[in-house]
Chains A and B, each alone.
Chain A
Amino acid sequence: MTRKRKRLALILSALVVLGSGLGLVLYALRDNIVFFYGPSEVLAKELAPGTRLRIGGLVKPGSLTHDGMTVHFAVTDGKRDIPVTYSGPLPDLFREGQGVVAEGVLGVSGMTASTILAKHDERYMPREVVDALKKAGRWQESTGKSAGIGGGS
């Protein structure tokens, strides 16, 4: 095999590997990314049921009910609410009035969540929640100043 053919083989194999990598990335970016919205945005966008997404906001005070290991609550940004159903382990800091991010599938009347993330520090708020609250105009900079300190890892 000459040097030229060797180089051709190398370039071809590089193209095959890189091409398959690129193909996989494009395919995965089409199906496997999840958009994030606040409750007002979800309602404004009129998303089709079955859409997978993340929503963020506060757990609406007075909305939390337990039904065995299943919980029902509403995520609010102060203006609009989205009801959420979830069964599974709740984070330690999941409470009414606290920030929360829920990921799941949108149904006809609210979301069935598969993952619940709560803030894991009194001083730290998930950034999605902060942004959702900001968009709804319910965020005070004074309380937000401390967000971002801590969580050194």
Chain B
Amino acid sequence: MIVETGHFALVLALALALVNAAVPLWGVATRDQRLMAVAPSVALVGFFLVALSYAALTYAHVTSDFSLVNVVENSHSAKPLIYKITGVWGDHEGSMLLWILILSLFGAAVAVSGRAMPRDLHAAVLSVQSWIGAAFLLFILLTSNPFARIANPPIEGNDLNPLLQDPGLAIHPPLLYLGYVGLSITFSFAAAALICGRIDAVWARLVRPWILIAWVFLTLGIAMGSYWAYYTLGWGGFWFWDPVENASLMPWLAATALLHSATVMEKREALRVWTIFLAILAFSLSLIGTFIVRSGVLTSVHAFANDPRRGVFILAILAFFIGGSLLLFALRANTLKPGGFFAPISREGALVLNNLVLSTCCATVFIGTLYPLALEALTGEKISVGAPFFNATFVPLFLPLCVVMPIAQNLAWKRGDLLGSMQRLFSAFACGLAAMLVLFALRGGPVISVVLAGLAIYTIIGAFTDLATRIFGRATLLKGTQAFTHALGLPRSAYGTALAHAGIGLSLLGLAATGWGAQKIMAMKPGDVARVGPYDVVLESIGPQSGPNYTATVAHMAIRSGGTEVAGIDPAVRFYPTRQMSRSEAGIKTIDFGQVYVGISKGDTAGSVDARLYWKPLVSLIWFGAIVMACGGLCSLSDRRLRVGVARRVRKVAAAAPQAAE
């Protein structure tokens, strides 16, 4: 009964989305306020229905209702409760439902918070969002119904893929989807701006918080996914240039470019056409990512050809939205007058450069990801485009960006002083160079690591140089209290920029340090000692362990440094009998931002294990940097200039809150 309610709610949500796709747009066309006013309430009810449907599926998973195909294929009665809840998005149908839940969540958020927006823009944004919602609801109902029943329910389910039974993966998809799907709002804003003819600085200011929200979640989602791969795949890699990863990296690059170009549009009314185009591009890349991951084209081009319904459906959605929005773009963009004037050497000029480089980076990733698929579909020839390709294309494009980044931060709007900006960065240059020399003298190691580390130090210090200049003044140090008032007076977005850029530097430092890591692969018996980096790892004992739906072999190890024990580490290999599948559970110990990482697999002889031991200095900075970047985004989000019409809105939000809380 509850399951059928969920299914029914989904159908109703589709009907409402169709209403919302038509009525408010008609209102915009005829300038009828009453028709426009329909949009927010319908969006809220639509969200409520999708949430209800999602709750029904969760209920079926939690109560192990094996009369549902979806539950049978992905659940097991002995599975821990947390993975019953997160297992809802462990497979195709459930994750599409999560996709649509987040899509309508963003719609509802705009409905509630956008009451200070121009009425026609507000209605048009919600209407476009409903178009997307309707398309994906139709997709779920026609090709991937999560509520499909099974004629003869089995006693037990097939369990969830053990790789997915992990806290990291429990939160990774929602984070990533919040970013991915969050870009749908910026897309709706862009389409609405084209429809209403409101492509101006006010629009840029209204859309900026949404770009920031999507960008923050996308950053965190990618970092989380990378950390998950790092510790579950058991050999310490954290980025594989796998098509699934690239599918999330491309929207991130586009969203990063959009974030910067929207700033130019907001401050200087320039780059308007480009910003709109980027907003369309970013969500298009999200859709392409969804297509790559969800159509089965990756498992095999042949599998896709054998059951093309889903793939073709997503492809049709893709073609409709990308084609439609680009058509709208082509019809409207040429009516715009050119924006504000700026010299090439200026903050705007630097941001244009940022956009150029980021878009080119994005294009190289796009080619590397889709070229093998296209080649196989056209010629049948199979190739793999792996890390070497991306290291030879993406990296040489991205690194110069890090050199330019701090310089750009110090340039003034309109007309900048390149020399002055570089002079202000003197200390950052000096520290970067000094770091290179010291590292080269003390650690030696690969030249690329030394250079990268120097670049990272320069980026981190350079990120704060602009802040320091603005707080302490240019020539002489001011008195403490005066600097404090200056610091308070700076907009939060200035701090956000500095933090986000410093986060890039931190991640870069973590990447650079991988060159100084150590690894050892050996068969170990209890009592054996392995020396890896500055530490000795002793295998003390090997023992069995049993979990709710798995059995495990655990190796108890101690990490010693110069004879004293620093920490214990317990890597394990788990075996899940339902799927006849094993998974390694790496032992990881963080020591001063570096990590001792041990993965084991069963050895040839009883009582021994094959161990892979790594010492990875500063490796945690890779993900810590991403968290700092996200904090920078949140800091910018709290900037007061983004809270346009805040006094008026607070009252209305308070009135609307009980509805949203349902």
Binding site for B on A (CB under 8 A): 1, 3, 6, 9-10, 13-14, 17-18, 20-21, 24-25, 27-29, 31-37, 54, 66, 69, 87-90, 92-93, 103, 120-123, 127-128, 130-131, 147-153
Q: For B344, what are the chain A residues with a Cβ–Cβ distance below 8 Å? A: 1, 6, 9-10, 13
A sample of 16 cross-chain residue pairs with beta-carbon separation below 8 angstroms, ordered by A number, consists of A3-B338, A3-B341, A21-B360, A21-B364, A24-B392, A24-B397, A28-B392, A33-B385, A69-B521, A121-B581, A127-B303, A131-B300, A147-B299, A151-B163, A152-B160, A153-B173
Most chain A beta carbons < 10 A, residue from B74, B360, B372, B523 = B360
Q: For A121, what are the chain B residues with a Cβ–Cβ distance below 8 Å? A: 161, 163, 579, 581
Q: For B172, what are the chain A residues with a Cβ–Cβ distance below 8 Å? A: 153
Q: For B353, what are the chain A residues with a Cβ–Cβ distance below 8 Å? A: 13, 17
Q: For A153, what are the chain B residues with a Cβ–Cβ distance below 8 Å? A: 163-164, 169, 172-173, 244
15 more A-B residue pairs beyond the given contacts A25-B364, A32-B386, with a C-beta to C-beta distance below 8 A = A1-B343, A13-B353, A17-B397, A18-B363, A32-B392, A89-B235, A89-B610, A92-B234, A92-B582, A93-B581, A151-B299, A152-B90, A152-B91, A152-B92, A153-B163
User: A103 CA to B388 CA in the complex, in Å?
Assistant: 13
**Contact between A88 and B299 (Cβ–Cβ < 8 Å)?**
no
* The residue from B169, B298, B360 contacting A18, defined by CB atoms under 8 A apart: B360
Q: For A152, what are the chain B residues with a Cβ–Cβ distance below 8 Å? A: 74, 89-92, 95, 160-161, 164
Q: For B383, what are the chain A residues with a Cβ–Cβ distance below 8 Å? A: 33-36
**Contact between A148 and B296 (Cβ–Cβ < 8 Å)?**
yes
**Contact between B356 and A18 (Cβ–Cβ < 8 Å)?**
yes
User: A90 CA to B341 CA in the complex, in Å?
Assistant: 60
* The residue from A14, A87, A122, A131 contacting B579, defined by CB atoms under 8 A apart: A122
* Residue B662 interfacial (CB < 8 Å): no
* The residue from B342, B343, B367, B382 contacting A35, defined by CB atoms under 8 A apart: B382
* Residue B185 interfacial (CB < 8 Å): no
Q: For B581, what are the chain A residues with a Cβ–Cβ distance below 8 Å? A: 93, 120-122
Q: For A148, what are the chain B residues with a Cβ–Cβ distance below 8 Å? A: 296, 299-300, 303
Closest Cβ of chain B: how far from A57's Cβ, in Å? Answer: 13
* Residue B7 interfacial (CB < 8 Å): no
**Contact between B601 and A21 (Cβ–Cβ < 8 Å)?**
no
User: A90 CA to B393 CA in the complex, in Å?
Assistant: 30
Q: Count of B residues near A, CB < 8 Å? A: 68
Q: For A29, what are the chain B residues with a Cβ–Cβ distance below 8 Å? A: 371, 385, 389
- What are the interface flags for B327-347 relative to A under an 8 Å C-beta threshold, 1 for contact and 0 otherwise? 000000000001001111000
* Residue B552 interfacial (CB < 8 Å): no
CB closest residue in chain B, given A127: B300
* Residue B522 interfacial (CB < 8 Å): yes
User: A126 CA to B60 CA in the complex, in Å?
Assistant: 32
Closest Cβ of chain B: how far from A134's Cβ, in Å? Answer: 8
Q: For A92, what are the chain B residues with a Cβ–Cβ distance below 8 Å? A: 234, 573, 582-584, 601
CB closest residue in chain B, given A36: B382
* Residue B30 interfacial (CB < 8 Å): no
List of 7 A-B pairs having minimum Cβ-Cβ separation, nearest first = A32-B388, A21-B360, A28-B392, A36-B382, A127-B300, A32-B389, A24-B393
CB closest residue in chain B, given A151: B161
Q: For B73, what are the chain A residues with a Cβ–Cβ distance below 8 Å? A: 149
**Contact between B580 and A24 (Cβ–Cβ < 8 Å)?**
no
User: A42 CA to B547 CA in the complex, in Å?
Assistant: 45
User: A32 CA to B303 CA in the complex, in Å?
Assistant: 27
* Residue B487 interfacial (CB < 8 Å): no
Closest Cβ of chain B: how far from A132's Cβ, in Å? Answer: 9
CB closest residue in chain A, given B74: A152
- What are the interface flags for B295-332 relative to A under an 8 Å C-beta threshold, 1 for contact and 0 otherwise? 01011101100000000000000000000000000000
User: A136 CA to B363 CA in the complex, in Å?
Assistant: 37
Q: For A36, what are the chain B residues with a Cβ–Cβ distance below 8 Å? A: 382-384
**Contact between A17 and B360 (Cβ–Cβ < 8 Å)?**
yes
Check A89/B389 contact, CB under 8 A, given A35-B383, A153-B244: no
**Contact between A24 and B388 (Cβ–Cβ < 8 Å)?**
no
Q: For B612, what are the chain A residues with a Cβ–Cβ distance below 8 Å? A: 89
Closest Cβ of chain B: how far from A140's Cβ, in Å? Answer: 15
Most chain B beta carbons < 10 A, residue from A27, A29, A130 = A29
Q: For B302, what are the chain A residues with a Cβ–Cβ distance below 8 Å? A: 127, 131
Q: For B173, what are the chain A residues with a Cβ–Cβ distance below 8 Å? A: 153
* The residue from B234, B296, B386, B397 contacting A21, defined by CB atoms under 8 A apart: B397
* Residue B587 interfacial (CB < 8 Å): no
Q: For B382, what are the chain A residues with a Cβ–Cβ distance below 8 Å? A: 35-37, 128, 131
User: A35 CA to B376 CA in the complex, in Å?
Assistant: 11
Q: Which of B578-611 contact A (CB under 8 A)?
A: 579-584, 599, 601, 604, 610
User: A117 CA to B371 CA in the complex, in Å?
Assistant: 22
* Residue B396 interfacial (CB < 8 Å): yes
**Contact between A32 and B604 (Cβ–Cβ < 8 Å)?**
no
Q: For A122, what are the chain B residues with a Cβ–Cβ distance below 8 Å? A: 579-581
**Contact between A14 and B356 (Cβ–Cβ < 8 Å)?**
yes
* The residue from B163, B361, B363, B381 contacting A120, defined by CB atoms under 8 A apart: B163
Q: For B169, what are the chain A residues with a Cβ–Cβ distance below 8 Å? A: 153
Q: For B303, what are the chain A residues with a Cβ–Cβ distance below 8 Å? A: 127, 147-148
Q: For A88, what are the chain B residues with a Cβ–Cβ distance below 8 Å? A: 521
User: A86 CA to B381 CA in the complex, in Å?
Assistant: 26
* The residue from A6, A33, A89 contacting B521, defined by CB atoms under 8 A apart: A89
Q: For B393, what are the chain A residues with a Cβ–Cβ distance below 8 Å? A: 21, 24-25, 28
User: A153 CA to B294 CA in the complex, in Å?
Assistant: 9
Most chain A beta carbons < 10 A, residue from B303, B352, B392 = B392
* The residue from B300, B343, B360, B392 contacting A130, defined by CB atoms under 8 A apart: B300
Q: For A130, what are the chain B residues with a Cβ–Cβ distance below 8 Å? A: 300
Q: For A20, what are the chain B residues with a Cβ–Cβ distance below 8 Å? A: 360, 397
User: A92 CA to B235 CA in the complex, in Å?
Assistant: 11
Closest Cβ of chain B: how far from A37's Cβ, in Å? Answer: 8
Q: Which of B53-87 contact A (CB under 8 A)?
A: 73-74
**Contact between A93 and B352 (Cβ–Cβ < 8 Å)?**
no
**Contact between B357 and A17 (Cβ–Cβ < 8 Å)?**
yes
Closest Cβ of chain A: how far from B552's Cβ, in Å? Answer: 12
**Contact between B601 and A90 (Cβ–Cβ < 8 Å)?**
yes
**Contact between A150 and B161 (Cβ–Cβ < 8 Å)?**
yes
User: A121 CA to B580 CA in the complex, in Å?
Assistant: 8
CB closest residue in chain A, given B602: A92
**Contact between A6 and B384 (Cβ–Cβ < 8 Å)?**
no
Q: For B235, what are the chain A residues with a Cβ–Cβ distance below 8 Å? A: 89
User: A27 CA to B520 CA in the complex, in Å?
Assistant: 34
Q: For B386, what are the chain A residues with a Cβ–Cβ distance below 8 Å? A: 32, 34
